[in-house]
Chains A and B, each alone.
Chain A
Amino acid sequence: MNPTIDKTESIEKVSIPELEKKGRITKVVIIVSKGTLESVYAGLVLANGALMEGIQADMFFTFFGLQAVTKAHADHLHTGTVGNPAFMPAIPTLVAGLPGFEAFASYMMRKEMDKLDMPHVTEFLQMIEAGGGEIYACKLAADMFHLKKEDFVDEVKDIITVGDMYALAEGEGTHFIFI
């Protein structure tokens, strides 16, 4: 038999789910590399929003994003007030850098988020886990910041390598989101 025909047949035998044929997103892997309040929430909202739509979602926290999944910092994230011209444009950079300003701005932002019924980071992570989302920490970054499994919140399933993270994305219809 002609090898080309064999190949065609083997492809046909692979059953691709109907959704994927339509280009529908079936899974997202969200990489959070920043530790500011707004970056972390962007990742959490995207992951939870995917699960709500029936899309599988896994999260990979790396570099400063790791702060968001440590017991010490998860619920105490700050937003950057310096070098962030879109935030309070009327405030001069020098003022934005004064001691306590960042904490105050973060507190105000936190209050606004509470009004919108947005959960705190640890509760958000619990919601994502309850929805079947898996949460991972980056091994390289964890080594760099001397963080161990016990330093992370319970929702962190494991500390994995970048190769393991790519393995999470296996299958058709997977999208990556990098924050």
Chain B
Amino acid sequence: METMTLSKPIETDANGYLKDPNQWTPELAHEIANSLHITLTDKHFEVLNWLRTKHAEGVALSIRKVGNSGIVDIKQFYQLFPGGPLKNAAKIAGIPKPVSCI
């Protein structure tokens, strides 16, 4: 069991993904994003909320699905969350790392 050194202790897996998506707050998102050198904007939050909704619905997330979300295209997704968009966005959104290969 790992915990993140944030303003309050949050349980994460070994790779820093939240164990419980319900512990997520927008403030926490800012803190995780800062640790990844990403400054969150409203657009980021639109993507994060979409990811959280889809995860709650049990959808297997992929880059392609984010690209078809109507919120961002794939290029914008890479720009918003550089250095591995799906995994970084999932981490900031407080959901498990997506297992998709595409």
Which A residues are closer than 8 A to B by beta carbons? 45, 48-49, 51-54, 116-119, 123, 126-127, 130-132
Cβ-defined contact, A127 with B63, below 8 A: yes
What is the bound-complex CA distance between A22 and B83, given in angstroms?
17
Which B residues are closer than 8 A to A by beta carbons? 62-65, 67, 73-75, 78, 82-88, 101-102
Cβ-defined contact, B78 with A48, below 8 A: no
Cβ-defined contact, A131 with B62, below 8 A: no
Chain B residues, CB < 8 A from A53: 84, 87
What is the bound-complex CA distance between A53 and B97, given in angstroms?
11
Chain A residues, CB < 8 A from B101: 45, 49
| Count, A-B residue pairs, CB within 8 A | 44
Cβ-closest chain B residue relative to A123:
B64
Cβ-defined contact, B67 with A127, below 8 A: yes
Chain A residues, CB < 8 A from B63: 48, 52, 127, 131
Distance (Å) between the CB of A155 and the closest chain B CB? Answer: 12
Cβ-closest chain A residue relative to B98:
A52
Cβ-defined contact, B82 with A130, below 8 A: no
Cβ-defined contact, B87 with A130, below 8 A: no
What is the bound-complex CA distance between A117 and B64, given in angstroms?
9
Chain B residues, CB < 8 A from A116: 102
Cβ-closest chain A residue relative to B82:
A54
Chain A residues, CB < 8 A from B78: 51, 130-132
What is the bound-complex CA distance between A51 and B65, given in angstroms?
16
Contact of A52 among B73, B75, B87 (CB under 8 A): B87
Chain A residues, CB < 8 A from B62: 117
